[in-house]
Amino acid sequence: MATWDLSKTKHHVLICNGSSCNYAGAEELTQAIREEISERGLDQHIHTTRTRCNGRCQDKCVAIVYPKGDWYKDLSPEDSRKLIDSLIYENDLTGKISHTAGKDGFIREPGVVQGVLKEKEKDQKVSKKL
C-alpha cells in the first residue's frame, strides 16, 4: 500500500490492464514504461496507474495521459521510450494517438475505429428487454 506525494506530478499515465490489453502484452508494457520513467529519474514527475478496461479494447494496448488528455493505442513495450519522450518534449507519438481531448469531447484520429455510441448500446439493451 502506498500514498504518494503528487505535488510534483506533471503527467499521470493510466495504463490499461484490462483483459484484452493484458492479452496483448499490457503487463510487459506497464513494466517497460515504469522502467523508462525510473531510469530517467522521472518518478516525481510522471505517475503511473494500472487500470481495468477503458472501453477501447480494439485499440489494445491502451494508455491515457492526463492532464494532456491523449489516448494512446497499439502500444508495445518498444514504444515506452518514445511515449516518455513525447511527455517530456511535448511532441506527438506519431501513429499512436487514438483520441485527443477537445472542448466538446475527445477527437478521434483518422483511421481509428469509432466504436459503439453509448446511446445506441443503451437503445439495444432496452429493445432486448422488450
* Interface with ligand FES (CB under 6 A): 16, 18-21, 53-57, 60, 62
In this structure, are residues 57 and 18 in contact, taking their beta carbons and an 8 Å threshold?
yes
The least CB distance from residue 122 to ligand FES, in Å, is: 19
18-53 burial, b at 16+ Cβ within 10 Å, e below that, comes to bebbbebebeebbebbbebbeeeebeeebbbeeeee
For ligand FES, the closer of residues 19 and 124 by Cβ is 19
For ligand FES, the closer of residues 16 and 87 by Cβ is 16
For ligand FES, the closer of residues 53 and 101 by Cβ is 53
The least CB distance from residue 80 to ligand FES, in Å, is: 17
Q: Which residue is nearest to ligand FES (CB)?
A: 18
Q: For residue 94, how many C-alpha atoms fall within 13 Å in the half-sphere facing its CB?
A: 0
- Please tell me the total number of residues recorded for the chain in this structure: 130
The least CB distance from residue 26 to ligand FES, in Å, is: 7
Beta strands 105-108 and 70-72, pairing class: unpaired
State the cell numbers at 61.
494496448
The least CB distance from residue 55 to ligand FES, in Å, is: 6
For ligand FES, the closer of residues 54 and 86 by Cβ is 54
In this structure, are residues 101 and 56 in contact, taking their beta carbons and an 8 Å threshold?
no
For ligand FES, the closer of residues 42 and 112 by Cβ is 112
The least CB distance from residue 14 to ligand FES, in Å, is: 10
